Amino acid sequence: MTKLFEKGTLGIIDVNNRVFMAPLTRSRANLDGTQHEMAIKYYSQRASAGLIIVEATQISPQGQGYLKTPGIYNTQHAEAWKKVTNAVHANGGKIVLQLWHVGRISHTSLLPEGKPPVAPSAIQATADTFTAKGVENASEPRALDIDEIKPIMDEYVQAAKLAMDAGFDGVEVHGANGYLLNQFISTNTNVRDDQYGGSIENRSRLLLEVVDAVSNEVGHNKVGVRLSPTSRFNDIHDEQIEETYSYIYSELGKRNLAYLHVIERSPEYETPDKDKDEDIVRKLRNGFSGNYIANGDYDKASASKVLEEGAFAVAFGRLFISNPDLAERLEKDAELLEPNHNTFYGGDEKGYSDYPTLAST
């Protein structure tokens, strides 16, 4: 027996099972940030997931870090996304939008007027991004002035409002993977000496202010947060991981949000501290008082185990790329198809919406 296929409720979002689809950047949007019509079929095929968390979606032109990623900062974006949400809902699914600002993980060629990326501090990342020329190093950022922070918070709120207009069931604030909010949190990317730097409380301030502002706009029970405490992706590292995230988890637990979604491990970015990191992740998870979504190289057995240990659901990433009916395949112990890595980013329907379902085979 497993809880993977039980119904449940996240905030006010009812879900049919605990097999969630993680946000997956696929780089197939139009250049103006409107979601491509291919996404209608792609996401509706995966509506049997308990919850679809759509790919990271930038909240402003300044928030873009990769070519052909979707936006949610004007009505055209909302209208394109509404076609996706309508299709998912028609197939009985639930879907939330991930709100994204990349901060320093960008390139001048992707940003308005070719200006540099912004970050909490002017520290360049040892990381790559994808531009019209292909893979390029992230550009050197400039530090945000204190009076530029509130307008970015307002962009999160506006993006959340547009997501509701587009028919999403909720939103997820992206505070993971070395992007802007994660950059404010981490000691190696934030050396500010104002109220957004220094102490754990100060470095966590922007994340919590964004969460509160978005919650005030759409309702706390429609808001999730994504974090990656131990990840080193995009040249991120916190010297006080356990202390920092114990504080953040505690603060988020007080807010009665829909959920906390945590990237617990990533096989591609393992460090010599793997065992220590796993201990920290487990300790943090056990101390969180709300709905917890685990993410990180899970299979059916390990997912079932973490649900027994108290997690609400497990978010699967790559398996959902090649198995649009993943929940059904897991329930029936059917064969799982392997994804084509060459078609992960960019391209057309090949490797995107052409993977077969059990029913079609």
**CATH number of the structural domain spanning residue 294:** 3.20.20.70
Structural domain count of the chain: 1
Distance CA 76, CA 341 (A): 31
33 located within any domain: yes
pLDDT average, residue stretch 289-311: 96
Residue 293: closest CA among 98, 101, 22? 22
- Once rounded to an integer, what is the mean pLDDT over residues 160-174? 98
Helices (H) and strands (E) counted in the chain, each on its own, are 10, 14
pLDDT in tens, 316-325: 999 999 999 9
pLDDT of residue 60: 98
Chain segment 23-72, per-residue pLDDT in tens: 999 999 999 999 999 999 999 999 999 999 999 999 999 999 999 999 99
Are 347 and 39 contacting, i.e. CB atoms less than 8 angstroms apart? no
pLDDT for 150 equals 98
**Does residue 182 fall inside a structural domain?**
yes
Which of 42, 43, 66, 179 is the catalytic position? 179
**33 or 360, which is more confident?**
33
Q: What is the pLDDT of residue 274?
A: 80
In this prediction, residues 209-222 reach a mean pLDDT of 98
**pLDDT value at 328 more than 70:** yes
User: Is 353 inside a domain boundary?
Assistant: no
The whole-number pLDDT of residue 267 equals 65
Average pLDDT over residues 173-190: 98
- Residues contacting 170, CB < 8 A, separation 6+: 10, 11, 13, 96, 97, 218, 222, 223, 224, 258
The predicted pLDDT at position 49 comes to 98
Region 176-205: what's the mean pLDDT?
98
pLDDT value of position 273 = 78
- Domain assignment of residue 361, yes or no: no
First to last CA, the chain: 27
The yes-or-no verdict on residue 118 having pLDDT over 70 is yes
What is the reported pTM?
0.96
pLDDT at 222 over 90: yes
Question: Would the pLDDT of 132 be above 90?
Answer: yes
Q: Is residue 70 part of a domain?
A: yes
Distances (CA, A) of 231 to 134, 176, 211, 236: 25, 8, 21, 7
Any domain includes 284 = yes
Please state, for a pLDDT cut of 70, what percent of the chain lies above it: 98
What was the pLDDT predicted at 269? 63
In this prediction, residues 274-286 reach a mean pLDDT of: 91
The pLDDT tens digits for 240-266 are: 999 999 999 999 999 999 999 999 987
> Does 268 have pLDDT greater than 70?
no
**Has residue 112 been placed in a domain?**
yes
pLDDT (mean) for 326-341: 96
The model's confidence at residue 1, banded by pLDDT at 50, 70 and 90, is confident
User: Chain-wide mean pLDDT for the chain?
Assistant: 96
CB–CB of 42/354 below 8 Å? no
Share of the chain above pLDDT 90, in %: 94
Determine, yes or no, domain membership for 221.
yes
pLDDT at 361: 79
What's the confidence (pLDDT) of residue 276? 87
Kindly give the interhelix angle for 274-287 and 241-254, rounded to the nearest 10 degrees.
20
Question: What is the predicted pLDDT for the residue at 272?
Answer: 67
**Is 179 known to be catalytic?**
yes
Domain that includes residue 112, residue range? 3-343
Torsion of CA 177, 178, 181, 184, to 10 degrees: 150
